[in-house]
Amino acid sequence: MAYLNAEEHARISAAVAAAEGRSSGEIVTIIADRSDGYTDVALAWAALLAFLVLALLPFVADPVLNALAPLHGGWNVAWEAPGIFAAAAAIGIATFLLVLAVQMVPAIRFALVPARIKTDRAENRAIDLFKVGAERRTEGHTGILIYLSMQEHRAEIVADEAIASLVPDETWGEAMVAMLAELKQGRITEGMIAAIERVGAVLAEHLPRQDGERNELPDRLIEL
């Protein structure tokens, strides 16, 4: 899913080029639709609700069995153990499949994912992408990733070892605040540019650009 058009991509690329022009840092920008599919979370919810329904069945046994009477042509039935267990199994399976099907709607699935899990998955995805796209890919180990995960509403900044050794994680807080302020208003491009500018300022302070340095990583925004 594309969140930005060509003009917005160009604005972000220009901001990256401008920021890199003042420092030895190499900024990589990525926007992802999501950081994970959360299939495990969907299965966990389905299993939990199925077990909950099975646990409650003994307390509503008569109404449930009476509701199943049409399966026997509407006649009263003397339920025996095999039939009761079969009915319970069918209800449990049906509940599991129904809850799983409901979570196929992305808005519902993401609403049911705990915030801590969203944060962890976004952070892990950012680190994985950083390792592939930026880590140790510059001569001075000066790559830095700005990552947005749209469905989770999460943002991450991951820095290579040369930057991390000079700049504590807390320093990126200003960039995160500036970015999130724009994102909360739905201004994705402005949010990314705000983060790039502040990251660029930090890089220029700690790693000023040296003569003869070349651009080692693409400036373009990557959308996944």
Query: For residues 158 and 63, which has the higher predicted lDDT (pLDDT)?
Result: 158
The amino acid that residue 26 corresponds to is E
**Do the beta carbons of residue 100 and residue 43 sit within 8 Å?**
yes
Go through the domains of the chain in sequence order and give each one's CATH number. 6-36+114-223 (3.10.310.50), 39-111 (no CATH)
pTM, entire model: 0.78
Query: Using CA atoms, how far apart are residues 30 and 12, in angstroms rounded to an integer?
Result: 11
Look at strands 154-159 and 222-223 and give their pairing.
Answer: unpaired
Q: Is the dihedral of CA 200, 206, 209, 215 positive or negative?
A: negative
* Each residue's pLDDT tens digit, 21-58: 887 777 888 999 998 989 999 999 999 999 898 888 77
Instruction: Evaluate whether 146 touches 157 at the Cβ level (below 8 Å).
Output: yes
Q: At what angle do helices 39-56 and 81-102 cross, to 10 degrees?
A: 150
- Strands of the 26-32 sheet, one edge to the other: 154-159, 143-149, 26-32, 222-223
pLDDT tens, position by position, 158-207: 888 777 777 777 778 888 888 888 888 888 899 889 889 888 888 888 77
Model confidence at 109: pLDDT above 80: yes
10-42: b (≥16 Cβ within 10 Å) or e: ebbbebbeebbeebbbbbbbbbbebbbebeebb
Separation of alpha carbons 27 and 200, rounded Å = 8
